[in-house]
Amino acid sequence: MSDQIETRAFETETSQLLQLMIHSLYSNKEIFLRELVSNASDALDKLRFEAVQNADLLQGDSDLVIRVEVDKEANQIIISDNGIGMDRDEVMANIGTIARSGTAEFSKMLAEAKDSETDANLTGQFGVGFYSSFIVADKVTVETRRAGLDAAEGVRWISDGSGEYTIETIDRPDRGTVITLLLNEESNEFVESYRIESVIKKYSDHITFPVQMLKEPTPAFDAEAEPEADEAEEKPAPEPEWTAINRATALWTRSRKDIGEDEYDEFYKQLSYDYQKPLARIHSRVEGKQEYTLLLYVPTNPPFDLYDRDRRHGIKLYVKRVFIMDDADNLMPGYLRFVKGLIDSDDLPLNISREILQGNKLVDSIRSGATRKVLDCLKDIAAADADKYQQFWDNFGKVLKEGLVDDFANKERLAKLLRFATTATDGDKQVASLDDYLGRMGEKQEKIYYITGDNHVGASSSPHLEVFRKHNIEVLLLSDPIDEWVVSSLTEFEGKSLQSVSKGELGLEALIGEDGKTDAEDSDEEKSITDQIAEVLKTQVESVRVTRRLTDSPACLVKGENEMSGNMERIMKAAGQAFEGGKPVLEVNLDHKLLQRLKSETAEDVSADLAQVIYDQALLSEGAQLENPAEYVKRVNRLLT
Ligand code: ADP
Averages of pLDDT over each 10 residues, the chain, 641 residues: 75 70 74 88 92 88 95 96 96 70 56 57 56 90 96 95 90 96 94 93 82 83 53 71 89 93 90 88 92 96 77 81 80 94 88 77 92 98 97 96 94 97 92 97 92 92 92 95 92 95 79 64 82 93 90 90 81 76 89 92 91 94 88 94 87
Tell me, what's the pLDDT at 519? 60
- How far is ligand 1, taken at its centre, from the CA of residue 372, in Å? 34
Strand locations in 62-136 (E): 66-71, 76-81
Tell me, what's the pLDDT at 119? 54
Atom of ligand 1 nearest to the CA of 39: 20
Tell me, what's the pLDDT at 149? 94
Tell me, what's the pLDDT at 127? 47
- How far is ligand 1, taken at its centre, from the CA of residue 39, in Å? 5
CATH classification code of 418-513 = 3.40.50.11260
- How far is ligand 1, taken at its centre, from the CA of residue 188, in Å? 25
Q: Ligand 1 atom 18: the closest Cα is on which residue?
A: 39
Helix axes 361-384, 386-406, angle to 10 degrees: 150
In single-letter form, the type of residue at position 246 comes to N
The conformation of residue 212, written as its DSSP 8-state character, comes to E
| Residues paired with residue 180 on neighbouring β-strands, in sequence order | 78, 141
- How far is ligand 1, taken at its centre, from the CA of residue 37, in Å? 10
Task: Answer yes or no: are the C-beta atoms of 270 and 202 closer than 8 Å.
Answer: no
What are the two backbone dihedrals, phi and then psi, of residue 497, each rounded to the nearest 5 degrees? -85, 155
Whole-number Å distance between alpha carbons of 114 and 24: 9
Tell me, what's the pLDDT at 542? 92
Q: Ligand 1 atom 14: the closest Cα is on which residue?
A: 94
Helix axes 31-53, 193-204, angle to 10 degrees: 60
Candidate of 36, 130, 144, 167 to mutate for ligand 1, largest count of ligand atoms within 8 Å of Cβ: 130
Tell me, what's the pLDDT at 566? 82
- DSSP characters for 116-151? HHHHHHHHHHHT-GGGGHHHHEEEEEEEEE-TTS-G
Residues in the chain: 641
What are the two backbone dihedrals, phi and then psi, of residue 286, each rounded to the nearest 5 degrees? -105, 130
Q: Ligand 1 atom 15: the closest Cα is on which residue?
A: 94
- How far is ligand 1, taken at its centre, from the CA of residue 130, in Å? 6
Q: Ligand 1 atom 8: the closest Cα is on which residue?
A: 127
Architecture of domain 6-217+237-244: 2-Layer Sandwich (3.30)
- How far is ligand 1, taken at its centre, from the CA of residue 159, in Å? 16
Q: Ligand 1 atom 12: the closest Cα is on which residue?
A: 94
Helix axes 103-112, 12-24, angle to 10 degrees: 30
Task: Answer yes or no: are the C-beta atoms of 238 and 263 closer than 8 Å.
Answer: no
- How far is ligand 1, taken at its centre, from the CA of residue 94, in Å? 6
Candidate of 18, 32, 39, 106 to mutate for ligand 1, largest count of ligand atoms within 8 Å of Cβ: 39
How much of the chain is in helix, strand and coil states, percent to nearest 5? 45, 20, 35
- How far is ligand 1, taken at its centre, from the CA of residue 127, in Å? 8
Whole-number Å distance between alpha carbons of 163 and 207: 32
Task: Answer yes or no: are the C-beta atoms of 78 and 68 closer than 8 Å.
Answer: yes
- How far is ligand 1, taken at its centre, from the CA of residue 25, in Å? 19
Whole-number Å distance between alpha carbons of 378 and 375: 5
Task: Answer yes or no: are the C-beta atoms of 433 and 493 closer than 8 Å.
Answer: no
In 3-state terms, what secondary structure has residue 182? strand
Atom of ligand 1 nearest to the CA of 99: 10
CATH classification code of 524-640 = 1.20.120.790
Q: Which long-range contacts (CB under 8 A, 24 or more apart) does 199-203 make?
A: 199/30, 199/33, 199/34, 200/33, 200/37, 200/68, 200/245, 200/246, 201/245, 201/246, 202/30, 202/266, 203/30, 203/31, 203/33, 203/34, 203/37, 203/266, 203/270
Tell me, what's the pLDDT at 102? 46
Overall CATH class of domain 251-396: alpha beta
Decide: residue 509, CB within 10 A, 0-12 exposed, 13-18 middle, 19+ buried: middle
Instruction: Using CA atoms of 382, 386, 389, 395 in order, give the dihedral in degrees to the nearest 10.
Output: 150
Decide: residue 573, CB within 10 A, 0-12 exposed, 13-18 middle, 19+ buried: middle
Instruction: Using CA atoms of 621, 623, 629, 635 in order, give the dihedral in degrees to the nearest 10.
Output: -10
- How far is ligand 1, taken at its centre, from the CA of residue 6, in Å? 21
- Report the predicted TM-score, pTM, of the whole model to 2 decimal places: 0.72
Residues with CB under 6 A from ligand 1: 35, 39-40, 43, 81, 83-86, 94-95, 127-130, 177
Q: Ligand 1 atom 13: the closest Cα is on which residue?
A: 94
Whole-number Å distance between alpha carbons of 609 and 35: 71
User: What is the longest distance spanned by two Cα atoms in the chain?
Assistant: 129
Whole-number Å distance between alpha carbons of 595 and 615: 12
What are the two backbone dihedrals, phi and then psi, of residue 586, each rounded to the nearest 5 degrees? -95, 120
List the domain boundaries for the chain. 6-217+237-244, 251-396, 418-513, 524-640
What are the two backbone dihedrals, phi and then psi, of residue 611, each rounded to the nearest 5 degrees? -60, -45
Tell me, what's the pLDDT at 369? 95
Q: What is the 3-state secondary structure (H, E, C) of 352-413?
A: CCHHHHCCCHHHHHHHHHHHHHHHHHHHHHHHHCHHHHHHHHHHHHHHHHHHHHHCHHHHHH
Atom of ligand 1 nearest to the CA of 124: 3
Whole-number Å distance between alpha carbons of 492 and 325: 40
User: Sheet holding 340-345: strands in order across?
Assistant: 280-286, 292-298, 340-345, 314-319, 322-325
